[in-house]
Structure 1
């Protein structure tokens, strides 16, 4: 027969209560370390996300300004053909059509959102699992 490993020797010479206490401490330490790791990862992700969001906001502002000045140029060009008032109406109607198309596309995108179905399903299973484990005791 082979010699027992250090873990087997410790298990043979230590009480069950002490072993359970040690396992409990180890699990607690592991959970604290996992939470600390998650916090560090989330902080790094949040920092990168904030920088990206700021840059995207600046890009959005630039795009709004470009659209504004292009719309003004279109209005000005059309004003030489049909008069300033009607040219403004034409440019406004073009933007109304674009806004309507974007609205319908966005609404359809929202219809495709499912939330977190896998998480909800998993959370529903927890009470049943606990109940089954209590019945088996």
Structure 2
């Protein structure tokens, strides 16, 4: 069996390599087309989701404004002047914003550079050159 003569119908090594290259190229091209079509669907859903989140945030902002006016009128109803009632609501929001800002500042100060990743990244060129 090993010493059978080569038939004219058997493909040559060059033809096999060319066929493999063509098949790999076709496969890669089809994978890219599949990825593009999947991304189009994902981007469409993502865009719609972002738009809906923006609409919800806008409506929530309107609700907070209405709640603020209601709180001010409840304070006024309790016997304080209307202008003082609105000033109290304003002061409450400034106080909440200051507390949130301080908490956010503390969180930002805890952010550090990814030191281990940087150290490993600096080792890559040496590893590619064969240095341990």
The two structures have a TM-score, normalised by structure 1, of 0.63
Find runs of 4+ consecutive structure 1 residues off by over 4 angstroms.
104-107, 109-115
Aligned length in residues: 117
- Of 87, 90, 93, 1:92 maps to 90
Give the superposition deviation at 1:32.
0.9
Q: For the structure 1 residues 113 and 99, does the alpha-carbon distance in structure 2 shift closer, same or farther, using more than 3 Å as the test?
A: farther
| Runs of 5+ unmatched residues, structure 2 | 2-6
Higher helix content, 1 or 2: 1
Give the superposition deviation at 1:13.
4.0
Which structure exhibits the higher relative contact order, with contacts defined as CA atoms closer than 8 Å and separated by 6 or more residues? 2
CA–CA separation in structure 2 for the residues paired with 1:110 and 1:54? 32
Of the structure 1 ranges 63-72 and 24-33, higher mean CA displacement relative to structure 2 is found in 24-33
The two structures have a TM-score, normalised by structure 2, of 0.65
Give the superposition deviation at 1:109.
7.0
CA–CA separation in structure 2 for the residues paired with 1:110 and 1:25? 54
Q: Residue 80 of structure 2 corresponds to which residue in structure 1?
A: 82
Alpha-carbon RMSD across the aligned residues, in angstroms, is 3.8
Instruction: Flag the structure with larger Rg.
Output: 2
| Runs of 5+ unmatched residues, structure 1 | 2-8, 133-137
Q: Residue 51 of structure 1 corresponds to which residue in structure 2?
A: 48
Give the superposition deviation at 1:114.
8.0
